[in-house]
Amino acid sequence: MLLALGGIVFRLWYVQIARGAEYTAKIASGSRVNVRIPAVRGEILDRNGIPLVQNRVSVDVDFYLPDMVRAYRQQNGYVPQLEDSIRVHGMLRETKINDIEKIVRETVIPELEKFSLAADYNSDKLKVHYKNNFEVPYNYRQDLDYESMAVFSERNLGLPGVKVTAKPVRQYVYGALGAHFLGYVGMPNDLDKLPDIKKFDFYDPDMEGKAQIELYLNDYLKGTPGARMLQRNAKGVIEGETGITEPKQGANVYLTIDARIQYIAEQALRAVGRGAAVVVDPNNGDILAMASVPSYDPNKFIPAIAAKDWQELNKDETDPLLNRAISAYAPGSTYKIPIALAGLRKGIGERSFHCSGGVTYGNKFMRCWIADKGGSHGGLSLSNAIKVSCNAFFYQYGNAAGIDQIVAMGNFLGLGQKSGIPLSGEAPGVLPGPEWLAAVNPQARWTSGLTANTSIGQGDVLASPLQMAMVTAAVANGGTCYSPRMVDKVVAQDGAVLLQEPFKVRANLIAEGGLTAEQIEKVRLGMKKVVNEGGGTAGKARIKGVEVAGKTGTAQFWRSGVKDNHTWFLAFAPYDAPKYAVCVIVQGAKSGGGVSAPVAAEILDKTFALDKPPAEGEEKKPFALAWLDPAKGNFKFVESVDFEREIPAATKITDDEETGGDGEGASSRKSQENKPAAPNVRAEADERGRVKNTERKPSAIDKFFNIFRGGGNKEKKEKSKPASPPPPGRR
Q: What is the pLDDT of residue 35?
A: 83
Percent of the chain with pLDDT over 70: 86
How far is the C-alpha of 615 from the C-alpha of 48, rounded, in Å?
24
Measured between alpha carbons, how far is 665 from 663 in angstroms, rounded to an integer? 5
The H-or-E segment that residue 10 falls in is helix 2-13
**Residue 264 has what pLDDT?**
97
Hey, which residues does 81 pair with through a beta bridge?
A: 98
C-beta separation of 369 from 658 below 8 A: yes
Which range is least confidently modeled, 268-282, 473-487, 671-685? 671-685
Written as one letter, the residue type at 454 is: T
Q: What is the CA radius of gyration of the chain?
A: 33
Q: Residue 657: pLDDT above 70?
A: no
Residue 406's pLDDT is 97
Beta bridge partners of 490: 253, 499
Which of 121-130, 520-529, 587-596, 609-618 comes out lowest in average pLDDT? Answer: 609-618
- pLDDT value for 714: 42
pLDDT at 692: 74
Predicted confidence (pLDDT) at residue 157 exceeds the cutoff of 70: no
Answer for the pair 287, 280: CB distance below 8 angstroms, yes or no.
Answer: yes
In the predicted structure, residue 701 carries a pLDDT above the cut 50: no
Query: What does 249-308 look like in DSSP terms, one character per residue?
Result: B--EEEES--HHHHHHHHHHHTTSSSEEEEEE-TTT-BEEEEEEES---GGGGSS-EEHH
Q: What is the mean pLDDT of residues 471-494?
A: 97
**Least confident residue range of 24-33, 151-160, 319-328, 419-428:** 24-33
Main-chain phi, psi angles of 242, to 5 degrees: -105, -15
Highest mean pLDDT among 161-165, 586-590, 712-716: 586-590
Task: Return d(Cα 584, Cα 324) in angstroms, integer.
Answer: 10
User: Mean pLDDT throughout 154-175?
Assistant: 83
CB atoms within 10 A of CB 707: 9
Q: What is the pLDDT of residue 457?
A: 94
pLDDT at 648 over 80: no
Q: How confident is the model at residue 312 (pLDDT cuts 50, 70, 90)?
A: very high
Q: What's the number of CA atoms in the CB half-sphere (13 Å) around residue 357?
A: 7
Identify the H or E element spanning 362. none
Q: Are 505 and 519 in contact (CB under 8 A)?
A: no
Instruction: Return the CATH superfamily for domain 31-255+699-720.
Output: Penicillin-binding protein 2a (Domain 2) (3.90.1310.10)
Given a contact cutoff of 8 angstroms between Cβ atoms, the answer to whether 293 and 271 are in contact is no
Least confident range from 76-90, 219-233, 273-287, 370-384: namely 76-90
pTM for the full predicted model: 0.86
Domains of the chain, by residue range, sit at 1-30, 31-255+699-720, 274-295+322-609
Residues across the chain: 731
pLDDT confidence of 86, banded at 50, 70, 90? low
CA distance 144 to 146: 7
**Euclidean distance between the first and the last CA atom of the chain, given in angstroms as a whole number:** 72
Q: What pLDDT score was predicted for residue 462?
A: 96
User: Is residue 82 predicted with pLDDT exceeding 50?
Assistant: yes
Q: pLDDT of 598-644, one tens digit each?
A: 999 999 999 999 988 877 777 878 888 999 999 999 999 999 998 87
Concatenating the DSSP letter of every residue in 467-497 gives HHHHHHHHHHTTSEEEPPB-EEEEE-TTS-E
- Which residues on adjacent β-strands are paired with residue 276? 292, 585
* Nearest in space to 523 (alpha carbons), one of 655, 660, 341, 375: 341
What are the tens digits of pLDDT across the range 449-482? 999 999 999 999 999 999 999 999 999 999 999 9
Q: Per-residue pLDDT for 730 more than 60?
A: no
| CA dihedral over 378, 379, 380, 385, signed as positive or negative | positive
Q: How far apart are CA 537 and CA 510, in angstroms?
A: 29
Contact yes or no for 576/564 (Cβ under 8 A): no
Segment 406-422 shows an average pLDDT of 96
CA 39 from chain center: how many Å?
22
Contact 551, 469 (CB under 8 A): no
6-65 pLDDT per residue, tens = 999 988 888 888 877 766 655 554 567 788 888 999 999 999 999 999 999 888 888 988
| Distance between CA atoms of residues 689 and 318, nearest Å | 34
How is domain 274-295+322-609 classified at the architecture level of CATH? 3-Layer(aba) Sandwich (3.40)
